Amino acid sequence: MILLLQEAAHAAGQASETGGTFTPLLPGLIILLPLLGFVANGLLSVLAARRALPRFAAVGSDHGHGHDDNQASEQEHHDHGSDPHPADHAHDVHGHDAHGHDDHGHAHGPKPFTHVLPSFIATGVLLAAFAIALANFFRMRAGHPTTPWVHEYWSWMPVGTLSVGASLQLDQLSMLMTLIVTGVGSLIHIFSIGYMNEDPGYPRFMAYLNLFIFFMLTLVLGASYPVMFVGWEGVGLCSYLLIGFWFKEKANADAGKKAFIVNRIGDFGFLIAMFLLFWNVGKLDFVGVNEALTKSGGPLVFGGAVVTAIALFFFLGACGKSAQIPLYVWLPDAMAGPTPVSALIHAATMVTAGVYLVVRSNGIFAMAPKASLVVAIVGALTAIFAASIGLKQWDIKKVLAYSTVSQLGFMFAGVGMGAYTAGVFHLMTHAFFKACLFLGSGAVIHSMHAALHATHSDADAQDMRNMGGLRKYLPITFWTMGLATLAIAGIPPLAGFFSKDEIVGAAWDGAHDQLGLVSGLRSVGSDGTTWLWLIWAALSIASFMTAFYMGRMMIYTFFGDNRTGETERKHLHEGSWTLTLPLVVLAAASVLGGFLNVEAEVPIVRNLNLLGLGESLHHWLEPVLEPSARVMAQAGIAAPQVEHTATPILIAIVLGVLGLGLAWGMLASRKLRVATEEPSYGNVPERVLYNKYYVDELYDRIVVRPVGWLSRLEAGFDKYVIDGTVDLVGRMVQWVGFAAGRVQTGQVNTYAFMILVGVVGVLAALTRFAL
């Protein structure tokens, strides 16, 4: 984003205020590059696996293609500048020196080329994709298109009246999502170099990451629901592969399966919505669907049952992918995967696919105000529900996981209320500070693992009770995570303050009958103001809880006395630049990202607007949100006149400060204890929160076990009825064969007798015939 802001100043002169045309530059390459990276890294992982076998102990040969990639990636590497902090350990030095020189790296230590090349291939293709996306962003800003650019590469499903092509669509929303995916993804790939490089499965990990980016870009750049669905299923597959990356442990493999199955339940809703859409509209591409929504005499009616069902089924799909009630249970267990996976897939990109789907279908959701209200209510419920669980988790990644579920609830509350820009805004800022928090927790865990491993301690490296005082040992991580914590707590002027306040502010407006959704609900005979008050209250309490649990996490991890141990403490240190650089960039984005969507009345933003930097996100997304505006206009619902008031902003600030202050007051003065001394919970409410309201146990009892019983019943049916029938037929044939076999006595006399009888019979028949 820093580069973006700097380059935007040069592009300001080209900007024009009138809607124009937009021709993208190499759009297919944005998707193709990660796929090529996946193929190359996949081959390297196969090579690495073969080299692990005793027969292939010899050193593998270098590839010319790999050499070319080395050169290209080396350029990207140099663009990042020199290492700001000298590495403390030899293996980091070797890793640093090894880039681009396989023989050199091999001569210096254990890293074979199969562990060096993936760093440059995976990161290089992603940085290249980000560069292309950035170039297209500037072109789009200059062109100001009012209609999306759509290109069909080939005809995919020409079936009867349905004509689905393999098409890409570039508009303001997909451009924003592409920048987030490739930008934050690039940083997380860089982080993975330092975090995962010692893992024997490193090439496989980088291959999976690249494959995930490919599918995520297919999702956000697809021009129709079927193409989006390809990416949708693909990211589910990659989520399964990466969550269960360390599949040799059963818990990790189970977590991967849980994610896959729960996502599949949601995907069922996506499919149903597509079928309903095709059945009623006859089109599945975004442009076609949006045109059909406001066609006079069209099949869909404002507030009608069909459009409401379509919206609700889309939301079911979004619930699975974006971990909302009741399909959120997979996300905390997804922390079983490596931490860069949590940062990329389960904080910044995949889990936002549901929000993207709702915003992409804004015309449909605007047409179904009751469904939109359901989205907002579920989002608010999820926000407060997950935030309360986060209050009593001890695993640092679990705290962040429930925080992610909660923040996704905020986004859905926003888009459900029709505040699509606010939801997208929070999606973007959340990608910055939550990715920073997850990577920071990865740096903490990386350091804790090294410390505990050095003394062979069996303490849990992810339990915050075993940490403490880390700000002295990991200063960069402390400051970057601190900024991200303040951002997510909603402290002005950081990013989360603006984006979260806009969502909570929308609820406040709705509660005061200044929201289009409330007018829409009234037109279909419902009163929305009471619901909006409840949503506002839930979101406010969730904001307060967010500040508290984030403060608690920071205090347990970085403040107070260090609880790692006397001998372990010496091994605590900051990681290499590949771990710290992404943290710094993301922290800076958390500080600056909020200014991308601020009202022009704020003086600093007015100055930014003059420079062309601070173009409002709302203005940017207007062409994408035009279908919902058109639907509301056709339904006769006037745009609400919003009176801005400082009250909700002040309440939000006070809640954030109170949350942080309460955490500090409760914990900072207390002597914190290690996991063996501090119990996981003290009283009944704490036990309920620690056990996550026993939802996993409830699902196990009402879903998993009945499915098990049903499976065993069906297995019994298959074994005793179906197989039994087939076996019976087989045994009958066997018995007939056995009985017929009795004739074979092996005795010549018997055979002669039978021949004699036959001859006599034939002669008798012939004689009778003759007579």
Interface residue list for another protein (CB under 8 A):
741-742, 744-749, 752-753, 756
Q: Using the minimum distance from each CB to another protein, give the nearer residue, 54 or 737.
A: 737
> What are the C-alpha distances in Å from 225 to residues 29, 47, 264, 549, 661?
21, 37, 16, 38, 46
Query: b/e string for 523-553 if b means 16 or more Cβ within 10 A?
Result: eeeeebeebbebbbebbbbbbbbbbbbbbbb
Q: Using the minimum distance from each CB to another protein, give the nearer residue, 607 or 734.
A: 734
Report, in Å, the least distance between residue 757 CB and another protein.
10
Report, in Å, the least distance between residue 45 CB and another protein.
58
Report, in Å, the least distance between residue 723 CB and another protein.
29
Q: Using the minimum distance from each CB to another protein, give the nearer residue, 59 or 752.
A: 752
Q: Using the minimum distance from each CB to another protein, give the nearer residue, 720 or 753.
A: 753
| 459: amino acid identity, one letter | A
Q: Using the minimum distance from each CB to another protein, give the nearer residue, 740 or 770.
A: 740
Q: Using the minimum distance from each CB to another protein, give the nearer residue, 58 or 770.
A: 770
- Distance CA(769)–CA(771), nearest Å, equals 5
Q: Using the minimum distance from each CB to another protein, give the nearer residue, 14 or 750.
A: 750
DSSP string, 322-339: TT-TTS-THHHHGGGS-H
End-to-end Cα spacing for the chain: 111
Q: Using the minimum distance from each CB to another protein, give the nearer residue, 58 or 740.
A: 740
Report, in Å, the least distance between residue 241 CB and another protein.
56
Report, in Å, the least distance between residue 765 CB and another protein.
19
**Gyration radius (Cα) of the chain, Å:** 31
Report, in Å, the least distance between residue 745 CB and another protein.
6
Contact 452, 556 (CB under 8 A): no
Q: Which residues pair with 145 in a beta bridge?
A: 20
Q: Using the minimum distance from each CB to another protein, give the nearer residue, 58 or 748.
A: 748
Q: Using the minimum distance from each CB to another protein, give the nearer residue, 638 or 748.
A: 748
Q: Using the minimum distance from each CB to another protein, give the nearer residue, 676 or 745.
A: 745
157 CB-near residues (< 8 Å, 6+ apart): 163, 164, 226
Q: Using the minimum distance from each CB to another protein, give the nearer residue, 639 or 756.
A: 756
Label residue 45 exposed, middle or buried (CB < 10 Å: 0-12, 13-18, 19+): buried
Report, in Å, the least distance between residue 734 CB and another protein.
13
Report, in Å, the least distance between residue 764 CB and another protein.
15
Report, in Å, the least distance between residue 268 CB and another protein.
57
| 596: amino acid identity, one letter | L
Helix, strand counts (H, E) of the chain: 32, 2
- Distance CA(526)–CA(374), nearest Å, equals 13
Helix 647-663 vs helix 475-489: crossing angle, to nearest 10? 140
Report, in Å, the least distance between residue 769 CB and another protein.
21
Q: Using the minimum distance from each CB to another protein, give the nearer residue, 710 or 759.
A: 759
Pairing of strands 162-170, 149-159: antiparallel
Contact 450, 651 (CB under 8 A): no
Contact 616, 600 (CB under 8 A): yes
Q: Using the minimum distance from each CB to another protein, give the nearer residue, 743 or 770.
A: 743
Report, in Å, the least distance between residue 732 CB and another protein.
19
Contact 406, 332 (CB under 8 A): no
Report, in Å, the least distance between residue 748 CB and another protein.
5
Report, in Å, the least distance between residue 750 CB and another protein.
9
| 186: amino acid identity, one letter | S
Q: Closest Cα to residue 659, out of 535, 550, 500, 560?
A: 550
Tokens matching residue 222: 């697809």
Tokens matching residue 648: 């909700």
Contact 507, 536 (CB under 8 A): yes
Report, in Å, the least distance between residue 744 CB and another protein.
4
Phi and psi dihedrals of 494, rounded to 5?
-80, 170
- Distance CA(357)–CA(317), nearest Å, equals 9
Query: b/e string for 618-654 if b means 16 or more Cβ within 10 A?
Result: bebbebbbebbebbbeebebeebeeeeeeebbebbbe
> What are the C-alpha distances in Å from 411 to residues 356, 358, 492?
10, 10, 19
Contact 199, 245 (CB under 8 A): no
